[in-house]
Structure 1
Amino acid sequence: MLDLLLVGQSPGIKNRLVDRLGRDEILFFGPDEGTAGYMDWASQHARKRGAPFWKAFTTGKSQTLGGIPHDTYGMTTRSVHQYVLGIIRQLNLDETACTKLQTGGPDGDLGSNEIKISNDRTTAIVDGSGVLYDPRGINREELMRLALARQMIQHFDTSKLSPEGFRVLVDDFQVTLPNGTLVQDGLSFRNVFHLNKLAAADFFVPCGGRPESIDINNIGLLFDAEGTPRFKYVVEGANLFFTQDARLRLEKAGVHLFKDASANKGGVTSSSLEVLAALSFTDAEFGRLMCKQADGTLPSFYQEYVSDVQKFIEANAAREFECLWNESKRTGKPKSILSDELSIAIVELRKNLESTELWNNIALRRLIMHEALPARLLKELGLDTILERVPLNYLKAIFGAYLASHFVYEYGTDPSQFAFFEFMSKHTAKAEAAN
């Protein structure tokens, strides 16, 4: 990959590869399942190869390299939980009274941070070690202890369960549950517990599990004998836990469901802002302001910047939630379909904005960039320095993405033909007043 990106800069590579585009290419790589440990190595490898963008080549790096670890700061969970809070706000619910089933345990990124950030009555957790269940609500203090230690439920103190509660581990056999049910083997019980009749709650928040765990063939098991879904609200943290057909079946039955593509954008947002900081600073500035110091302390700038990133994630998630909720209410369309339509609308509008002259309106450009960039970064460097240092195509992407997303969030996926004119007129007037 570095060979391709550096083709125009290294004579040795240039002899082997042809640059058909004639412009610098910059790609950034973020962590996903099983790859987080490679982020530090790849960044340092890019540095050894002389890549000018090595600091931004990978994201989610360790703090010693100026990275913003997603799990440490709960970046993905901050987005997911905004959808939970949105449902609670729209339906005037009491979070402390809401029950929840969670797949993905206190040892994982999403699972641990969901426990830390929530204030519900969790009745069941399924993780790699087994199933933990208590219809009265699993002891919150003990869950928090495991989440802080990043330990599986096998370490849960079972003396803190109610008489109706139980823990079945994957290596258990012939276990009799408090209701008299005999569990033949813990592994099989764990693998399909989300389909078990006991797995019923107000909220289902998958934070881990295998893709397509619930599909059109087994979705019927999520309904009781009267045809009522066992969950009222589903917010997908884990990727692809449901198939689209299963989502639509649940929504048709009245479940408020928000799919992964919308709910778990927090990690992507964090990565994009980590890239922005890396592109904005010189190597010396980056080492001083973004990297953990030799004495183990984190620079104050880093801590404030991370706080800005968290605020961005929560604000964007709240905007998208409100848009999906209102559009579903207005059109009657399933939210899982609207989620795709919203993403397509934003991408298409951003692409169309690239061919306009809006970027050349200096007053508008400065207004939008002031609104789109983190306040702490602007304070440290000033807008002019950022515009000078960050590659133009990345700046234009920020500009276009901000306008496109805010327009769609405000006017929906199917706006009137005059809506964008109205939207831009407000921004243009504001830019002229500030100039």
Structure 2
Amino acid sequence: MRTLFDENYSLASTQQRKNKDIPEGGSKGTVLLNIDCQDKAFVAFEKYVDSILDLLLDGQTPGIKDKLVDLYGKQEILFFGPDEGTAGFMDWASHHARKRGAKFWKAFTTGKSQSMGGIPHDTYGMTTRSVHQYVLGILRKLGLDETQCTKLQTGGPDGDLGSNEIKISKDKTIAVVDGSGVLCDPQGIDRAELTRLALARQMISEFDVSKLGPQGFRVLVDDHDVTLPDGTVVGDGLTFRNLFHLNSRAHADIFVPCGGRPESVDINNVHKLLEDGEDNAPHFKYIVEGANLFFTQDARLFLEKRGVHLFKDASANKGGVTSSSLEVLAALALSDDEHQKLMCKQPDGTLPEFYQEYVKSVQTSIEENARLEFECIWAESERTGKPKSLLSDDLSFAIIRLRKELEETDVLWNNAPLRRHVLSLALPKLLLDKLDLNTILARVPENYLRAIFGAFLASRFVYKYGIEPSQFSFFDYMAPFFDQISNGASH
């Protein structure tokens, strides 16, 4: 309870920076249960949702309206996404929003079942597609072969990020840490067996240890007094698991945290990621944060100062929010009947062709956004020598600041040809082909469209011109847009 607000605030701040490419802002909410109500999670969630709906629906519930003060005087929309302990409640929340009369009920939650038009992040590896683009970007810049690089990951084959990282990567994974323990093989863990677990979403406790090399080992959290191949005795498996990322055996080219508690590495223990000896070489050359807040900012800067290429969570872990945003857009743009026909699993268990193609377009958008941000951060780091973890924040703030200015000014938005042209570029082509731009403009709330307009222009501008563009860069950036509309590119 004492640290909950700080953790929630930090997660919300990270979420806001992640959301730089999409119309939604970032936030986090926590439902804190009394100690004697730990079995009442769903009841508490029901009350939480109803409270939010009371606000969004402007007090339509009897006895509520007179207690509200509306500071905006306009329709507001808000979307819930699943997080720890709430993933199974998303279908109920959307159904409940419909029962309460919310026009945007289909978009009220993401992470819904496919029967309600949800796009499950784990099934399609949405978050991992962004994280892994940063791994590939580092390897591309440094001319490295992924198959020859060693890697350690926290978060096992049973999790969303962990399982998809295993399935999508081609490296030589030397260690995996998950809820059940530690699996390590300095020669590389058997890829086929690891993939089998990832496909089945099973923990490393199910790994066939006969497939480990002579120096390989598995230590589970319930184990005690285990002797490792080098003769070291592990007294307590739980402690060994919790601190393995700081262990001298945790030594690889790449470290991808896919799970773990916030601040697992901070300024007090980060020195344990350095080799003993005069050179104090870091245990990892390249770090891509998949798990939120795994490193503190001080720890990141400590490692970058020692030559580690490190990309932080707010940049790398944004694939999931992009997927959720495009799930929301489809729900807002499609009528109830269209949504049921095009985006929902049918009674016979089949997925509509439109849904399958839409998922592919979402994956493409995720990879493109990740690639653009990676290239910008890398170029700015080369130009300025500034740590990438600081540039990640600078870039996010630059986009968010410009986006806010674009949303608050009417100069560009009121230029109808420009507005239509930008939205025709920002909206998914598949959705435009199915509905046409006029239909989308009529159905999607204007404040959401303005946010799409601002996010697209701001992110693409900063990715192209960097964090500190010249005063005339925005004119250069906008010139092709005006040329295209003057030539009739958009009607």
- Indicate whether 1:379 and 2:433 are aligned: yes
Report the equivalent of 1:78: 129
SS of residue paired to 1:360: coil
Selected match of 2:393 from 337, 340, 350: 340
Letter in 2 for 1:86: G
Report the equivalent of 1:398: 452
**Equivalent-residue separation in structure 2 for 1:34 and 1:418 (angstroms):** 49
Selected match of 1:107 from 125, 146, 158: 158
**Equivalent-residue separation in structure 1 for 2:360 and 2:63 (angstroms):** 43
- Indicate whether 1:167 and 2:218 are aligned: yes
Within a 5 Å distance, the mapping from 1:82-231 to structure 2 comes to 82-225=133-276, 226-231=279-284
Selected match of 1:7 from 58, 66, 73: 58
Deviation at 1:12, TM superposition (A): 5.2
Count, aligned residues: 435
Selected match of 1:291 from 340, 344, 364: 344
Selected match of 1:368 from 400, 403, 422: 422
Selected match of 2:370 from 313, 317, 338: 317
Is contact 2:54-2:60 (8 Å) kept?
Answer: no
Which deviations, in whole Å up to 9, do the C-alpha atoms of 1:305-357 show, x marking residues without a partner?
Answer: 11111100000000000000000110111000011111100011011112141
**Equivalent-residue separation in structure 1 for 2:140 and 2:256 (angstroms):** 17
SS of residue paired to 2:253: strand
Deviation at 1:422, TM superposition (A): 0.5
- Indicate whether 1:327 and 2:380 are aligned: yes
**Equivalent-residue separation in structure 2 for 1:35 and 1:100 (angstroms):** 31
**Equivalent-residue separation in structure 2 for 1:169 and 1:11 (angstroms):** 55
Structure 2: unaligned runs, 5 residues or longer: 1-51
C-alpha RMSD over aligned residues? 1.1
Deviation at 1:13, TM superposition (A): 3.7
Deviation at 1:35, TM superposition (A): 2.1
**Equivalent-residue separation in structure 2 for 1:179 and 1:431 (angstroms):** 69
**Equivalent-residue separation in structure 1 for 2:203 and 2:424 (angstroms):** 43
Which deviations, in whole Å up to 9, do the C-alpha atoms of 1:374-399 show, x marking residues without a partner?
Answer: 11111111111111110001001001
Q: So what's the TM-score if we normalise by structure 1?
A: 0.98
Which deviations, in whole Å up to 9, do the C-alpha atoms of 1:189-231 show, x marking residues without a partner?
Answer: 1010000000000000000011101000001100001311010
Is contact 1:325-1:335 (8 Å) kept?
Answer: yes
Is contact 1:6-1:13 (8 Å) kept?
Answer: no
SS of residue paired to 1:15: helix
Selected match of 2:88 from 19, 37, 41: 37
Which deviations, in whole Å up to 9, do the C-alpha atoms of 1:20-68 show, x marking residues without a partner?
Answer: 3211111111122332112111111111111111000111111011111
**Equivalent-residue separation in structure 2 for 1:427 and 1:42 (angstroms):** 41
Deviation at 1:364, TM superposition (A): 1.6
**Equivalent-residue separation in structure 2 for 1:227 and 1:35 (angstroms):** 43
**Equivalent-residue separation in structure 2 for 1:287 and 1:356 (angstroms):** 36
Deviation at 1:254, TM superposition (A): 0.4
Deviation at 1:185, TM superposition (A): 1.3
Which deviations, in whole Å up to 9, do the C-alpha atoms of 1:291-316 show, x marking residues without a partner?
Answer: 11111111111111111111000000
SS of residue paired to 2:413: helix
Report the equivalent of 1:432: 486
Letter in 2 for 1:57: F
Q: So what's the TM-score if we normalise by structure 2?
A: 0.87
**Equivalent-residue separation in structure 2 for 1:333 and 1:200 (angstroms):** 26
Deviation at 1:10, TM superposition (A): 5.5
Structure 1: unaligned runs, 5 residues or longer: none
**Equivalent-residue separation in structure 2 for 1:421 and 1:227 (angstroms):** 48
**Equivalent-residue separation in structure 1 for 2:188 and 2:392 (angstroms):** 32
**Equivalent-residue separation in structure 1 for 2:351 and 2:463 (angstroms):** 35
Letter in 1 for 2:136: L
Letter in 1 for 2:384: T
- Indicate whether 1:263 and 2:328 are aligned: no
Which deviations, in whole Å up to 9, do the C-alpha atoms of 1:170-202 show, x marking residues without a partner?
Answer: 111111111111111111110100000000000
Deviation at 1:11, TM superposition (A): 6.1
**Equivalent-residue separation in structure 1 for 2:455 and 2:485 (angstroms):** 18
Letter in 1 for 2:213: S
Deviates more, 1:355-364 or 1:315-324: 355-364
**Equivalent-residue separation in structure 2 for 1:179 and 1:419 (angstroms):** 59
**Equivalent-residue separation in structure 2 for 1:11 and 1:187 (angstroms):** 52
Deviation at 1:431, TM superposition (A): 2.5
Report the equivalent of 2:23: none
Letter in 2 for 1:40: D
Which deviations, in whole Å up to 9, do the C-alpha atoms of 1:260-291 show, x marking residues without a partner?
Answer: 00100111111111110000011111111111
**Equivalent-residue separation in structure 1 for 2:224 and 2:62 (angstroms):** 64
SS of residue paired to 2:189: coil
Report the equivalent of 1:416: 470
- Where does structure 1 differ by over 3 angstroms across 4 or more consecutive aligned residues? 8-13
**Equivalent-residue separation in structure 2 for 1:250 and 1:101 (angstroms):** 17
- Indicate whether 1:389 and 2:443 are aligned: yes
**Equivalent-residue separation in structure 2 for 1:3 and 1:272 (angstroms):** 23
**Equivalent-residue separation in structure 2 for 1:204 and 1:285 (angstroms):** 44
**Equivalent-residue separation in structure 2 for 1:370 and 1:92 (angstroms):** 37
**Equivalent-residue separation in structure 2 for 1:380 and 1:327 (angstroms):** 39
Letter in 2 for 1:352: E
**Equivalent-residue separation in structure 2 for 1:356 and 1:19 (angstroms):** 23
Is contact 2:197-2:203 (8 Å) kept?
Answer: yes
**Equivalent-residue separation in structure 1 for 2:288 and 2:319 (angstroms):** 14
Report the equivalent of 1:303: 356
- Indicate whether 1:407 and 2:407 are aligned: no
Selected match of 1:56 from 92, 102, 107: 107
